[in-house]
Amino acid sequence: MVNNHNILPIGVFDSGIGGISVLTEIIKYLPGEKYIYLADSANAPYGTKSCQHVRELSLNAAKILFSEGIKALVVACNTATSAAVNDLRKQYAFPVIGMEPALKPAVEIGKSGIIVVMATPLTLQEEKFNALYSRYNHEASIIPLPCPGLVELIESEAGTGRISEYLKQAFGNLEKSKISAVVLGCTHYSFIRKEISDTAGPHVKIVDGNAGTARHLINTLESYGLLAPGSKEPKPPEVKFITTGNRNEVIQVCRRFLKKALAVNRQM
Ligand code: DGL
pLDDT level of residue 268 (50, 70, 90 thresholds): low
CA distance 72 to 226: 9
**Residue 3 forms part of a structural domain:** no
Ligand 1 proximity of 101 Cβ (cutoff 6 Å): no
**Residue 5 forms part of a structural domain:** no
Ligand 1 proximity of 243 Cβ (cutoff 6 Å): no
State the average pLDDT over residues 51-79.
Answer: 98
CA distance 103 to 117: 8
pLDDT more than 70, % of the chain: 99
| pLDDT for the residue numbered 191 | 95
Of the three residues 208, 237, 255, the one that is the final residue of a domain is 208
How many distinct helices (H) and strands (E) make up the chain?
A: 11, 9
| pLDDT for the residue numbered 2 | 57
CA distance 102 to 81: 13
234 shares a domain with 201: no
Domain span including residue 73: 10-99+210-267
Tally of domains in the chain: 2
State the average pLDDT over residues 221-242.
Answer: 95
CB 16 within 8 A of CB 23: no
**Residue 4 forms part of a structural domain:** no
Task: Give the CB-side neighbour count of residue 250, counting CA atoms within 13 A.
Answer: 22
Ligand 1 proximity of 47 Cβ (cutoff 6 Å): yes
| pLDDT for the residue numbered 159 | 84
109 shares a domain with 233: no
141 shares a domain with 215: no
CATH number at residue 139: 3.40.50.1860
Using the mean position of ligand 1's atoms as its centre, give its distance from the Cα of residue 265 in Å: 21
Classified as helix, coil or strand, 144 is strand
Using the mean position of ligand 1's atoms as its centre, give its distance from the Cα of residue 1 in Å: 36
Q: What is the DSSP letter of 111?
A: T
User: Which atom in ligand 1 lies closest to the alpha carbon of residue 188?
Assistant: 1
136 shares a domain with 75: no
